[in-house]
Amino acid sequence: MNATPQQGNKDSGKNSGNAKNNQPAEDKNQRTTDPQVNEERATDSVKAKVAEAASNPEVNESPQDVAQENSQLAVTEDRREEVESARAEQIKLANEVNSAERVRELIRAYKSENKLKESDEPTEARITGQHAGKFDLVVRGKQVSCGDHFSPREIGVKDGKIVAIEPLGANLEGAKVVELADDETLIPGLVDTHVHVNEPGRTEWEGFGSATRAAAAGGVTTIVDMPLNSVPATVNVAALEYKRLFAQQNAFVDVGFWGGAIPGNKKDLRPLHDDGVFGFKCFLLHSGVDEFPHLEADEMEEALAEVKTFDSLLIVHAEDSRTIDKAPQPNGDVYEHFLKSRPRGAENIAIAEVIERTRWTEARSHVLHLSSSDALPMIASAKRDGLDITVETCPHYLTLLSEEIPNGATAFKCCPPVREVSNREKLWEGLLDGTIDFIVSDHSPSTLDLKDLGNGDFGVAWGGVSSLQLGLSLIWTEARRRGVGLDRVLQWMSTRPAERVGLRSKGRLSLGYDADMAVFAQDESFVVDAKSLNHKNPITPYQGKVLSGKVRKTFVGGKEVDYKKPSGRLLNRGQV
């Protein structure tokens, strides 16, 4: 979820805003110290907005409308040369930055500087102790996740795996025993398959240490790292090796990697697959960073056909650049102007392309961070047709509303954008009926200055939301207001993402699975404070928000995360 070229960074200046946002709220909207009162008021507010949205229904675009709109957006002849020249320059720069030869030199320098030996490489095995006749860890609780329900259970762990699940009272013996409190639930560790760690190259934005601490604090025990915004981008085997060097001694949770599909690297896709990436990401418009050029639709089709030959997965940032080029410019501090600059049609057109190219190639595809509810009918139709296509959405699209975003509040900026309440309600419907498969963070951090906080200009601020630590609490807070159970939330945030990317030993508390678990107090409330989060840069659109559900402990491979000594593994596709 990244900014486009016109949304880059500028020097900060005088803050601008909307006077009405600075007026005191009415008493009925004031926060209290009583979490239950706050939740009841928030629920009433949601119901009121939903009722208002229902009285103003939107018109969904049909696939035919999408196709017609797309045909009217061809680049005009007078701009074609300009567009092609700019893209050629971007591809040239990407080739230089991501050159395998250049990256191998960086690897040699890094290993020499850090005096790395082969023994420093991470190992696949996870030996947590040698305790004859005992489990390494036993967790006992009245509420333990058992798929679609919760039951009193005891979990026995040996060498990082769940090897026993017994009714509470079995009195399993363990070298370490954890007794859950009455208000605690044992849940499987979350699997977040959409995280931008940004290291190496942009480590001031985020790094493996800070990102994986944040993940663990939010109950996330496995992340899959995006091939950008690190430098070099993960578009060849050398770049993957280089990134692993930075991750291997700094991961507090387990970490896998995506490869990138960019112009000219088709020959690198199979080697990356063989070296363990979980699939390949591409963009259908400028990615926001020049070292990761986007694919045109025909090039995406080539990538789909290529990954089909070795049964990999292509994941797509689906927004249409031509639609956005014709939309109003986003400059200024008015959020509505930014929203109009990223219209739903841009997503609808791009998703239609993904669907049809998937149909033609019979490949496996995945649509990233869905924000436009208009695309749901097309996606549902594609699934009914038997296409192997899945879709994700994110906490910000399910919890935030464009109507409530203050002018100048660039912490809320993301691409595609947070949309209206009626759109949000339809996304929830898509989740509940299975059109949307799962929820991930799209953790896309940046430094504070890139958010242009001084000016609050949505046109120049970086587009991305940092929410890796807050995802479970955000979704649970919203889900329980709607009468949606925690079991459904865990399906969306753990089981299904693990299944889609082939993490066969993660995503549930079952025999033989990794002992990745979190102790979750679903009724405990807290107030979000950006400075207390483990993310490297203290900025969040959720600042001051009261959330329900807090992670009290996290276990990765049967070991409790201590936030001081990293013990996460680097994961390869096929080994998990």
Distance CA 444, CA 226 (A): 10
Query: For residue 180, is pLDDT > 90?
Result: yes
- At 4 the pLDDT is 40
Query: For residue 58, is pLDDT > 80?
Result: no
Residue found under tokens 């840069």? 537
> What are the tens digits of pLDDT across the range 321-346?
999 999 999 999 999 999 999 999 99
Q: Whole-number mean pLDDT of the chain?
A: 88
Element (H, E) at 496: helix 496-501
> What are the tens digits of pLDDT across the range 426-453?
999 999 999 999 999 999 999 999 999 9
- At 119 the pLDDT is 46
Query: For residue 284, is pLDDT > 90?
Result: yes
Sheet-wide strand order for 259-260: 259-260, 280-283, 313-317, 364-367, 389-393, 438-439
| Proportion of the chain above pLDDT 70, given as a percent | 83
- At 174 the pLDDT is 96
> What are the tens digits of pLDDT across the range 68-104?
444 344 445 566 778 888 889 999 999 999 999 999 9
Among 187, 172, 174, CA closest to 552: 187
Residues 6+ apart with CB under 8 A from 201: 229, 230, 231, 232
In the predicted model, what is the mean pLDDT of residues 478-499?
A: 98
Query: For residue 501, is pLDDT > 70?
Result: yes
User: What is the pTM (predicted TM-score) of this model?
Assistant: 0.87
Strand, coil or helix: 511:
coil
Per-residue DSSP letters for 60-116?
PPPHHHHHHHHHT-PPPHHHHHHHHHHHHHHHHHHHHHT-HHHHHHHHHHHHHHHT-
Angle CA 88–90–91, to nearest 5: 65
Residues 6+ apart with CB under 8 A from 140: 153, 154, 155, 168, 172, 177, 178, 179, 180
| Structure confidence at residue 65 as a pLDDT band (50, 70, 90) | very low
End-to-end CA distance of the chain: 27
| Proportion of the chain above pLDDT 90, given as a percent | 81
In the predicted model, what is the mean pLDDT of residues 459-477?
A: 97
In the predicted model, what is the mean pLDDT of residues 491-514?
A: 97
Query: For residue 162, is pLDDT > 80?
Result: yes
DSSP bridge partners of 283: 317
Query: For residue 394, is pLDDT > 80?
Result: yes
Strand, coil or helix: 391:
strand
Q: Can you read off the two tokens belonging to residue 433?
A: 């009926």
Distance CA 532, CA 452 (A): 22
Query: For residue 513, is pLDDT > 90?
Result: yes
- At 102 the pLDDT is 96
Strand, coil or helix: 476:
helix
Query: For residue 470, is pLDDT > 90?
Result: yes
- At 541 the pLDDT is 97
Query: For residue 55, is pLDDT > 80?
Result: no
**Which of 80-84, 239-243, 399-403 is the least confident region?**
80-84
Residue found under tokens 């990538």? 303
How far, in Å, are 26, 287, 383 from residue 320 at the CA level? Answer: 41, 12, 22
- At 196 the pLDDT is 98
Strand, coil or helix: 176:
strand
- At 118 the pLDDT is 54
Distance CA 11, CA 459 (A): 13
Distance CA 316, CA 226 (A): 12
- At 86 the pLDDT is 87
> What are the tens digits of pLDDT across the range 1-35?
554 433 333 222 323 333 333 333 344 444 444 54
In the predicted model, what is the mean pLDDT of residues 500-517?
A: 97
Sheet-wide strand order for 220-225: 190-195, 220-225, 254-257
| Structure confidence at residue 44 as a pLDDT band (50, 70, 90) | low
In the predicted model, what is the mean pLDDT of residues 487-509?
A: 97
Buried b (16+ CB within 10 A) or exposed e, 561-574: beeeebbbbbbbbe
Distance CA 85, CA 346 (A): 23
